[in-house]
Amino acid sequence: MKHFFTICLLLLATAFTAKAQKTSLPFPRNFERSYEKGIRNWDGTPGASYWQNRSDYKIKVELLPKKKLITGSEEVTYYNNSPDTLKMIRIKLQHDLYKKGGQRADDVNPDDLHDGVKISGLTINGKSVAPAAQNTHNTFLDIRLAQPLPPKSSLQLALSWENPLPADEDATRECICDPTTFFVPYFYPEIAVYDDLHGWASAPYNGLQEFYHDFSNYEVQITVPKGFQVWATGEWQNAADMLQAEYLKRWETAHTSKDVVKIFSEAEIKSGAVFKKSAKQVFQFKATDVPDFTFASSDHYNWDATSVVVDAKTGRRTFVSAAYDSKSNDFKRVARIAADGIHLMSTWLPGYPFPYPCLTVFNGNDGMEYPMMINDASVSEDFVTGLTVHETAHTYMPFMMGINEQYYAWMDEGWANFFDHFLADSLENKSSSIRGGGGFGNDWEVPPMVPSRALDSRSYGFAAYTRPQYAYTQLMDMLGYELFHKCLTTYMDRWKGKHPGPYDFFNTFNEVSGKNLDWFWKPWFFEFGYPDLNVNIGKVDNASGGAYYVAYVKSEGVLPVPVKMEVEYQDGSKESFYRTMEIWKNPAQRVVQIPLDRNKVPVKATLGGKTIPDAKPKDNVWKAP
């Protein structure tokens, strides 16, 4: 194992070049241009030359439940704000996850495989794109531009498409939950990100790695059969044209109510009383500055909703919904849990006003977040709070912050794990520990800075969720809530609506805290290894002939963690000791000496706490011989 770690560390190191004058952390060469040209600054701020591209989407889509089919058309205005002339446009066809011969992280039901998303009527600036200029590969469609797109200019793209929906109830990320209930993400062709760090996004969608999209504006029209409700990213624009008066009143009331309002029940929507009469139902939604669009639909789900103040200064509220099957008893509490969680997110952790006007938690088949939409399976009563707040917390990362999860999922999933631990514990005392610490030090456990796109599901899970969750917890413990909160919210202020990279995060915390935290970032995010403390107690003779006892806490591992120790004395009394992880700031410091009560004889010492990981806990207890 030791040799494996050494070899992997050497391989990782060769991917970086030292920039000692700017940072003591390993630094990738492909990032140099952005910092040298002032696109990003070394103090963690966006540079004067920072840029990012974006799009405006106008989408018309129809859900055909009986055929399990999506058909649609879109008009897209793409803005090239970069300093580069683009010779091609890359479109993401994420539903090609189910294309025959495609690359997938996990197996899918063979019955769901198809020939790929069918594109027709493809034009650029009103001119048809010849087949020879189109290259479909690995969930991407690359279009060679007849006229390259100069900096600070735009183009118009239009196309139509159709794709079948996967019928397997366990299909990745999406769900035909029953014959008339659908959760539909990744349904439209979307222009990929072109950025300053990697150029065109090149990680194929394989069902494991998740988001990286540009911030865009959406006007979306969704057609469904009569009797179906639609929930989606953005705000519903034509509720007054579709809902009968009683249900419109409930919907409007819920937008300002602090109590949960039942907009309609399963029996009511099945009765046909909810909607005004029409052969088909056309829902219109609008969303601005969001990185994606998702929708869901059902003709028999219950709909609960409430609202919560998310900004005390302005009184701004967020409309919070739960749409669910009557059999899902846990979902009867979900609207309340989500609203209460959003309140804590806005006022405590992260302590930043919730950025979106609405959020719907939909009873699907997963635990997966989208802008203003969540696909959550029904779970046990003990787990529903943690799952709900975890997926809701993703509104900040990756959505508000534009994180590249395909490379650095720890910048997103680690935060959601961190938030859900503390928020669920605060809401219901049902998150008494941080999960998954037993994986430290296994051969599949890699540093978070290894690109997420390169990892399998086991390595990805630990590097994206568990290790950064522990790291953020130790960091808040060391800095204290007030300073930690200041660092975090400054990072959010600087980078919301943008695309922060890892060094923007590291450098912001360094600059705002007034501390060079590289001694912490390097082991936790760049290095192979694990946390491991042990304890021994020894008797020390002093010059006057007396003696006293000292606890020797040794760090055998690579990752710095706090020292939390309880000592039991011969007389039955106990004493607690605590040191933050800053005691290990000097890499040469491997042992900490803690003098004990000079008037007592220790019989037992125990290290550890529920938020402090230790790969080898068996040596965390000392007992008198």
Question: Smallest Cα–Cα separation from 162: which of 282, 232, 60?
Answer: 60
- State the pLDDT at residue 545: 66
Which class is domain 53-209? mainly beta
Pair 461, 438: CB distance under 8 Å: no
- State the pLDDT at residue 437: 72
Q: What is the pLDDT of residues 147-163, one digit of tens each?
A: 999 999 999 999 999 99
Q: Residue 218 corresponds to which tokens in the numbers above?
A: 């959406």
Question: Smallest Cα–Cα separation from 294: which of 418, 227, 380, 394?
Answer: 394
Q: Residue 582 corresponds to which tokens in the numbers above?
A: 């800053």
Pair 203, 93: CB distance under 8 Å: no
Q: What is the pLDDT of residues 29-60, one digit of tens each?
A: 999 999 999 999 999 999 999 999 999 999 99
Q: Go through 314-323 and write b for each residue having 16 or more CB atoms within 10 A of its CB, e for each that does not.
A: eeebbbbbbb
Q: Go through 124-153 and write b for each residue having 16 or more CB atoms within 10 A of its CB, e for each that does not.
A: beeeebeeeeeeeeebbbebebeeebeeee
Pair 281, 224: CB distance under 8 Å: yes
Q: What residues pair up with 184 in beta bridges, in sequence order?
A: 295
For the segment 556-577, the average pLDDT, to the nearest whole number, is 97
Helix (H, G, I), strand (E, B) or coil at 119: strand
Within 10 angstroms of residue 268's Cβ, the number of other Cβ atoms is: 17
Sheet strands side by side (includes 295-298): 175-178, 181-184, 295-298, 229-232
Within 10 angstroms of residue 51's Cβ, the number of other Cβ atoms is: 18
Q: How far apart are CA 501 and CA 487, in angstroms?
A: 16
Exposure of 425 by Cβ count < 10 A (0-12 exposed, 13-18 middle, 19+ buried)? middle
Handedness of CA 420, 422, 424, 430 (dihedral sign): positive
Q: What are the two backbone dihedrals, phi and then psi, of residue 600, each rounded to the nearest 5 degrees? A: -135, 160
DSSP string, 501-560: -HHHHHHHHHHHHTS-THHHHIIIII------EEEEEEEEE-TTS-EEEEEEEEE-SSS-
Q: What residues pair up with 606 in beta bridges, in sequence order?
A: 566, 621
Q: Pairing between strand 261-264 and 316-324?
A: unpaired
**Residue 464: pLDDT above 80?**
yes
Which distant-in-sequence residues (6+ apart) come within 8 Å of 247 by Cβ? 263, 264, 268, 273, 274
Higher pLDDT, 499 or 209: 499
Q: How many CA atoms lie within 13 A of 586 on its CB side?
A: 6
Q: How far apart are CA 184 and CA 297, in angstroms?
A: 8
**Residue 436: pLDDT above 70?**
no
Sheet strands side by side (includes 235-236): 127-128, 118-124, 153-164, 69-80, 54-64, 216-225, 280-290, 235-236
Where are any strands of DSSP class E within 425-532? none
Q: How far apart are CA 88 and CA 95, in angstroms?
A: 21
Q: How far apart are CA 495 and CA 514, in angstroms?
A: 19
Q: What residues pair up with 76 in beta bridges, in sequence order?
A: 57, 157
**Residue 3: pLDDT above 60?**
no
DSSP string, 51-100: ---EEEEEEEEEEETTTTEEEEEEEEEEEE-SSS-EEEEEEE-GGGGGBT
Within 10 angstroms of residue 485's Cβ, the number of other Cβ atoms is: 17
**Residue 107: pLDDT above 80?**
yes
- State the pLDDT at residue 62: 98
Q: Tokens 């709909």 identify what position?
A: 303
32: left (phi > 0), else alpha (psi -120 to 50), else beta? alpha
Q: How do the domains of the chain map onto residue ranges?
A: 2-50+434-526, 53-209, 224-400, 533-623
Q: What is the pLDDT of residues 174-188, one digit of tens each?
A: 889 999 999 999 999
Model confidence, pTM: 0.94
- State the pLDDT at residue 433: 58
**Residue 290: pLDDT above 70?**
yes
- State the pLDDT at residue 10: 44
Give residue 126's identity as a one-letter amino acid code.
Answer: G
- State the pLDDT at residue 328: 98
Q: Pairing between strand 86-92 and 229-232?
A: unpaired
**Average of per-residue pLDDT values in the chain:** 94
Handedness of CA 377, 381, 385, 386 (dihedral sign): negative
117: left (phi > 0), else alpha (psi -120 to 50), else beta? beta
For the segment 545-574, the average pLDDT, to the nearest whole number, is 95
Q: What is the pLDDT of residues 203-216, one digit of tens each?
A: 999 888 888 999 99
Q: What is the pLDDT of residues 537-547, one digit of tens each?
A: 999 988 776 78
DSSP string, 396-418: IIIIITT--HHHHGGGTHHHHHH
Angle between helices 381-393 and 334-347 (to 10 degrees): 50
Query: Please, which pLDDT band fits residue 22 given cuts at 50, 70 and 90?
Result: confident
**Omega cis (within 30) before 447:** no
